[in-house]
Amino acid sequence: MNEDDIKKAITKKVQRYADWTIGITEHPKNRKGGHGDPEKWYKWRASSETVARRIEEQFISKGMKGGTGGGKDPKYVYIFKNE
């Protein structure tokens, strides 16, 4: 997906940024398990690592929890609701 489509999709899902965590990864299934298999989990494949990092940084700056990282070639952006 392109950057704008992913941003719009995230914005549609999220009511309060502070209630959600965002991250990027190269292995979304492993990361979901690493976060305790959250019920409200969404992921999108970005067109590049650069795009994924930009999206992550933007939503962290808006108040989502998360940190930079993601592995060698993280192209998946994921969010989950903090329970």
In this prediction, residues 2-17 reach a mean pLDDT of: 97
Q: Enter the DSSP assignment of 81.
A: E
pLDDT confidence of residue 4: 97
Instruction: Quote the CA–CA distance of 75 and 27 in Å, as a whole number.
Output: 9
Q: Specify the number of domains making up the chain.
A: 1
* Boundaries of domain holding 70: 3-81
**Residues 75, 48 contacting (CB under 8 angstroms):** yes
pLDDT confidence of residue 2: 94
DSSP string, 5-22: HHHHHHHHH-S-GGGEEE
pLDDT confidence of residue 68: 75
Tokens at 52, concatenated:
């994924």
Q: Enter the DSSP assignment of 34.
A: H
pLDDT single digits (tens) 15-74:
999 999 999 999 999 999 999 999 999 999 999 999 999 999 999 999 999 987 777 889
| pTM summary value | 0.94
